[in-house]
Amino acid sequence: MAKAGKRIRAASATFDRERTYPAVEAVKLVKGNATAKFDETIEVAINLGVDPRHADQMVRGVVNLPAGTGKVLRVAVFAKGPKAEEARKAGADLVGDNDLAEKVLAGMVEFDRCIATPDMMPVVGKLGKVLGPRGLMPNPKLGSVTMDVAGAVKAAKGGQVEFRVEKAGIVQAGIGKASFTEAQILQNFKAFVDAITKAKPTGAKGGNYLQRIGLSSTHGPGVHVDVASLSS
């Protein structure tokens, strides 16, 4: 922890923590300060002008990052018959119906994304107490309850990211790796912010929806980003 603290202090000295930077410059700073011995995740955090305690101010959705996430996701699919075979051919890591449900109930949640065909929801619905707190419950609005299981599996493995605003009005996600080029990180960054902008709920009042945006790496300090620069 001492080394991490020293590294953050050194990185913080390379820029003004109180200033907001154009997106291009912010990406360069964050990537340049990602000096850990592993491939750090590039993370974005956005403060939104919403109160998610109200249903009409909930912000939730998915976005396909053009440069991918740099992560290898394990995908589970609840399906049977031809749809189960379709999921396997698309690259799903775990496929099943009642047998898979039993494994989940036993605590074997060895996947990062969960997809289900509509007919399997009575089975999946019983797993809510296990999958819900982990953010893994399939949802038709997010495209994870679908008959197009092959498309959903390929999207999940190809760079699709789910987002959901937290109680404090913050939405955050990993949008790539420090090993990505600056252009790739910027491309993903803009795609993520664009998706959040399009997901603006009807209950969000006034024009101050995107209040603050921060960009950082796993062990690096956060850089404040000028919101206006993302539209240029």
Domains of the chain: 16-69+160-231 (3.30.190.20), 75-158 (3.40.50.790)
Token code pair at residue 176: 């790539």
Cα separation, 109 vs 93, whole angstroms: 12
Residue with structure tokens 């074997």? 108
Blockwise average pLDDT, block size 10, the chain, 232 residues: 60 78 96 92 96 91 93 94 97 97 95 97 96 94 95 93 92 96 97 95 83 94 90 64
The reported pLDDT for the residue numbered 15 is 74
State which H helix or E strand residue 146 sits in: none
The reported pLDDT for the residue numbered 1 is 46
The reported pLDDT for the residue numbered 208 is 86
Token code pair at residue 182: 């600056």
State which H helix or E strand residue 133 sits in: none
Strands (E), 58-199: 60-64, 75-78, 94-96, 113-116, 160-164, 170-177
Q: How crowded is residue 167: how many other Cβ atoms within 10 Å of its Cβ?
A: 8
Contact 43, 178 (CB under 8 A): no
The residue count of the chain comes to 232
Q: Model's pTM, two decimal places?
A: 0.83
- DSSP-assigned letter for residue 40: P
